[in-house]
Amino acid sequence: MSRLQAEHLYKVFGRRPEDAAARLEAGADRDELRAEGTTAAVIDASIEVDEGQIFVVMGLSGSGKSTLLRMLNGLLEPTAGTVRFDGQDLTSLSDKELRKVRSEKISMVFQHFALFPHRSVLENAAYGLEVQGVPRAERERRATEALELTGLKGWEKSWPDELSGGMQQRVGLARALATNADLLLMDESFSALDPLIRRDVQDQLLELQKTLKKTIVFITHDLNEAMRLGDKIAVMRDGRIVQIGSAEDILVTPANDYVASFTQDVDRTRVLTAGAIMAEVGTVLGSTTPDGKKLGTGAEFRAAAPATVGVDTPLVELFTPCSTSTVPVAVTDANGDLVGAVAAERLLAVLGEPADQDATPGVPAQAAAADGTAARLDKKPAEDGPVDDKPEDKVIAGA
Ligand SMILES: Nc1ncnc2c1ncn2[C@@H]1O[C@H](COP(=O)(O)OP(=O)(O)O)[C@@H](O)[C@H]1O
Ligand SMILES: [Mg+2]
pLDDT score, position 99: 87
Helix (H) or strand (E) holding 59: none
Strand, coil or helix: 360: coil
- In angstroms, rounded to a whole number, what is the distance separating the alpha carbons of residues 80 and 68? 12
In angstroms, what is the C-alpha Rg of the chain?
A: 24
Confidence of residue 385 (pLDDT cuts 50, 70, 90): very low
Nearest CA to ligand 1 atom 10: 41
What are the beta bridge partners of residue 325?
A: none
Domain edges within the chain: 2-268, 274-368
Question: With 0-12 CB in 10 A as exposed, 13-18 as middle and 19+ as buried, what is 113?
Answer: buried
Nearest CA to ligand 1 atom 20: 62
Confidence of residue 166 (pLDDT cuts 50, 70, 90): confident
pLDDT score, position 344: 93
Task: Please state the rounded mean pLDDT for residues 141-163.
Answer: 93
Across the chain, mean pLDDT equals 84
- For 26, residues 6+ apart whose C-beta sits below 8 A from its C-beta are none
pLDDT score, position 393: 31
What would the pLDDT profile of 23-45 be if each residue is shown by its tens digit? 999 988 899 898 888 999 999 99
Confidence of residue 103 (pLDDT cuts 50, 70, 90): confident
- In angstroms, rounded to a whole number, what is the distance separating the alpha carbons of residues 185 and 70? 9
pLDDT score, position 63: 95
What would the pLDDT profile of 43-75 be if each residue is shown by its tens digit? 999 999 999 999 999 999 999 999 999 999 998
pLDDT score, position 371: 34
Nearest ligand 1 atom to the CA of 70 is: 17
What would the pLDDT profile of 331-360 be if each residue is shown by its tens digit? 999 899 999 999 999 998 888 754 444 333
Helix axes 195-212, 165-178, angle to 10 degrees: 20
- Smallest CA-to-CA distance from 204 within 219, 217, 189 is with 189
Task: Please state the rounded mean pLDDT for residues 191-198.
Answer: 80
CB 200 within 8 A of CB 194: no
- In angstroms, rounded to a whole number, what is the distance separating the alpha carbons of residues 324 and 327? 9
pLDDT score, position 261: 87
pLDDT surpasses 50 at 381: no
**Farthest-apart Cα atoms in the chain, separation:** 77
pLDDT score, position 353: 56
Strands 54-58, 80-85: parallel, antiparallel or unpaired by DSSP? unpaired
- In angstroms, rounded to a whole number, what is the distance separating the alpha carbons of residues 130 and 132? 5
Nearest CA to ligand 1 atom 6: 13
Cα 98 to chain centroid distance, Å, stands at 27
Nearest CA to ligand 1 atom 8: 67
Strands 2-13, 240-245: parallel, antiparallel or unpaired by DSSP? unpaired
Q: Write out residues with Cβ below 6 Å of ligand 1.
A: 13, 39, 41, 59, 61-67
pLDDT surpasses 70 at 382: no
- Mutate-to-test residue for ligand 1 from 10, 38, 43, 67, highest number of ligand atoms within 8 A of CB: 67
Task: Please state the rounded mean pLDDT for residues 105-117.
Answer: 81
Task: Please state the rounded mean pLDDT for residues 7-29.
Answer: 93
Nearest ligand 1 atom to the CA of 11 is: 12
Confidence of residue 391 (pLDDT cuts 50, 70, 90): very low
- In angstroms, rounded to a whole number, what is the distance separating the alpha carbons of residues 70 and 289? 58
What percent of the chain shows pLDDT beyond 90? 53
Amino acid at 91: T
Ranges 34-38, 148-152, 200-204, 357-361: which has the least confidence: 357-361
Nearest CA to ligand 1 atom 1: 13
Task: Please state the rounded mean pLDDT for residues 230-235.
Answer: 96
pLDDT score, position 113: 65
Confidence of residue 390 (pLDDT cuts 50, 70, 90): very low
Helix axes 165-178, 136-149, angle to 10 degrees: 130
What would the pLDDT profile of 127-138 be if each residue is shown by its tens digit? 988 888 899 999
Q: How many CB atoms lie within 10 A of CB 359?
A: 17
What would the pLDDT profile of 275-304 be if each residue is shown by its tens digit? 989 999 999 999 888 888 899 999 999 999
pLDDT score, position 355: 40
The ligand whose atoms approach the alpha carbon of 59 most closely is 1
pLDDT surpasses 80 at 199: yes
Q: How far is CA 399 from CA 263, 266, 356, 369, in A?
A: 18, 19, 17, 11
| DSSP class per residue in 266-307 | S-HHHH-BHHHHPBPGGGTTTEE-TT--EE-SHHHHHHHSS-
CB 369 within 8 A of CB 204: no
What are the beta bridge partners of residue 238?
A: none
Half-sphere exposure for 47 (CA within 13 Å, toward CB): 33
What would the pLDDT profile of 305-321 be if each residue is shown by its tens digit? 999 999 989 999 999 99
Nearest CA to ligand 1 atom 11: 41
- Spacing, Cα 13 to ligand 1 middle (Å): 8
- Spacing, Cα 298 to ligand 1 middle (Å): 55
378 vs 167, higher pLDDT: 167
Handedness of CA 293, 295, 296, 302 (dihedral sign): positive
- In angstroms, rounded to a whole number, what is the distance separating the alpha carbons of residues 239 and 132? 34
The ligand whose atoms approach the alpha carbon of 60 most closely is 1
- For 360, residues 6+ apart whose C-beta sits below 8 A from its C-beta are 354, 368
**Options 3.40.50.300, 3.30.365.10, 3.30.428.10, 1.10.10.60; CATH of 2-268:** 3.40.50.300
DSSP 328: P
Q: What are phi and psi of 181, to 5 degrees?
A: -65, 140
Task: Please state the rounded mean pLDDT for residues 359-375.
Answer: 35
